[in-house]
Amino acid sequence: MPPPREPPDEPDEIDLHGLSVEKALRRVAQELHTARVRGCKRLVVITGAGWGNRDGRPVLRPALEAWLRGPEGRALGVKDVQQAHRGGALDLRLD
């Protein structure tokens, strides 16, 4: 009998719609810590495209992306950050 198959490596997702940049960064830091403890290799962070704010420019995704690519993100195990879902999400590869 063959060994049981492992489930597919589906990434966890967190949705940050409606959060301020400060609250979103705090939430992502918590989720990255949890993902690291659980041994997750991917995390999808849904930010939304950002066109719904009064200035008509993305705010959350660019701030979050810069933070994740910086020393704070690396310290929390972020290896790579790619935009996904037409810019409305970030696909994170974790250590």
pLDDT of residue 43: 96
CB count, 10 Å around CB of 65? 18
Query: 29-42, pLDDT tens digit by residue?
Result: 999 999 989 999 99
Non-local CB neighbours of 73 within 8 Å, separated by 6+ positions: 32, 67, 81
Query: 32-69, pLDDT tens digit by residue?
Result: 999 989 999 999 999 987 766 677 788 899 999 999 99
CA–CA distance from 53 to each of 15, 20, 48, 81 (Å)? 17, 11, 11, 24
Task: Report the relative pairing of strands 78-84 and 89-94 from DSSP bridges.
Answer: antiparallel
80: its two tokens: 């790579």
pTM of structure: 0.82
